[in-house]
Amino acid sequence: MFGELIILSAVLFAVGAVGFLTRRNAFVVLMSLELMLNAANVVFVAASKQWGGPEGLASVLIVIAIAAAEAAVALAALLALFRVVGTEKIDEWRALRG
C-alpha cells in the first residue's frame, strides 16, 4: 500500500507540474500549485502510518497552513495585477523581460 501511495503522490505532483507549465489561466496555475503541495501531503500521510508516529500528520497540518497563506497572498496579488493589466493570462505578462 505504501508504494502505491507514493506512486499516487508522484502522479499528482507530475499532474500539478504539467498544469503549472501549460495553463495560461493564472487561477488554474495556482490550483496546480495546490496539487503539488497535496502530493507531498500524501507522502507524509503514507510514511506516517508506516513509521507508526503522528509527526508526519502534524507536518500535513503545517503544510496545509503554508498552502493557505500562499493562496491568500497569491490571489490578492492576482487581483491587483488584473486591475492593472486587465488580463489573467500568464503569457501576456511581459512587461518584465530580457
Partner 1 sequence: MKALVLPVAAGVFFLIAVMLSPLFTGRRWWVALVYLFAAAGVLAVMGLTRPLAGSHVAALRLVDDALARIAFIVAVAVAGFTGLVVADYRRANPHASGEATALVLASVTGALIAAMAGDFLLLIVGIELASLPVYVLTGILRNRPRPAEGAMKYILLGGFATGVMVYGSALIYAAAGSTSMIAAVNALHTGASKHILIAGLALFATGLAFKASLAPFHMWTPDVYEGAPTPYTAFMSAVIKFVAFAGIIRLFAFFAFVTELKHIIIALAVISMVWGNFAALVQDNVKRMLAYSSVAHAGYILVPLATGHKEGVVAALFYLVLYALMSAGAFGLISYNEGEEGKGVTFEDLTALGVKKPLIGLCGVILFFALAGVPPTGGFMAKFYAFKAAVDGGLWWLALVGIFTSMVGAYYYLKVIVFMYMKKREGTGSTGNAKVLTVAGVLLLSLFVLAYGVDPKSLLDVVKVAAEGALQLLY
Partner 2 sequence: MIVEWVIRALGIIAVLSALVAITRRNPIYSAVFLGLNFLCLGGIFTFYVSPFVGAVQIIVYAGAILVLFVLAIMILNLRDEDLGPSRRTVVKFFAVIAAIGVVWLIITITAGFVPPGREAGTISAAQVGRALLEAHVVAFEVISVLLITAVVGAVVLAKKRMEV
Partner 3 sequence: MEDAMLRLILLFPLAGFLFNAFLGKRAGERVVSWVGPASIFFSFATGVYFMSQLAGLGEHGYIRDVIFTWIASGEVSIPFSIVFDHLSGWMVLVVTGVGFLIHVYSIGYMHGDKGYYRYFAYLNLFVFMMLVLVLGSNLLLMFLGWEGVGLCSYLLIGFWFTEEERARAGMKAFIVNRIGDLGFILGIATLLWGSAVVSHPTVEFSQLQAVVPRLPEWVVLAATLLLFVGATGKSAQIPLYVWLPDAMAGPTPVSALIHAATMVTAGVYMVARMNFAYSAAPLAMDVVAGVGVATAFFAATMGLVATDIKKVLAYSTVSQLGYMFVGVGVGAYAGGMFHLTTHAFFKALLFLGAGSVIHGMSGEQDIRKMGGLKDKMPWTYRVFLIEGLALAGIPPFAGFFSKDEILFKAFASGHKLIWAVGIAAAFMTAFYTFRLIFLVFYNTPRYDESVHPHESPPVMIIPMAILAVLSFIGGFVLGFPHHSLIEAFMEGVFRHGVEIHGASGLEMGLMFLSTIVAVAGWAVAYRMYVVDTTLPEKIAQRFKAAYALLFNRYWVDEIYDTLFVKTYLGISDGIMRYIVDDVIIEGFLNTAARTSLGTGRQLRKLQTGDVQAYGFAMLAGVLLVLAYIVWRWAT
Site for partner 3 in 7-46 (CB under 8 A): 17, 20-22, 29
- Which of 33, 31, 37 lies closest to 9 in space, CA to CA? 37
Q: Which of residues 42-71 bind partner 2 (CB under 8 A)?
A: 42, 45-55, 57-62, 64-71
CA angle 18, 10, 64 (to 5 degrees): 85
Angle between helices 26-51 and 55-85 (to 10 degrees): 180
The CB density around residue 9, as the number of other CB atoms within 10 Å, is 20
Q: Which of residues 6-35 bind partner 1 (CB under 8 A)?
A: 6, 9, 13, 16, 20, 26, 29-30, 33
CA angle 70, 34, 50 (to 5 degrees): 110
- For partner 3, which stretch binds (CB under 8 A), given 44-52, 64-72, 75-83, 90-98? 90-98
- Mapped onto helix, strand or coil, the DSSP state of residue 54 is coil
Binding site for partner 1 (CB under 8 A): 6, 9, 13, 16, 20, 26, 29-30, 33, 36-37, 39-41, 43-44, 46-48, 50-51, 53, 55-56, 59, 62-63, 66, 69-70, 73-74, 77-78, 80-81, 83-85, 90, 93, 95-98
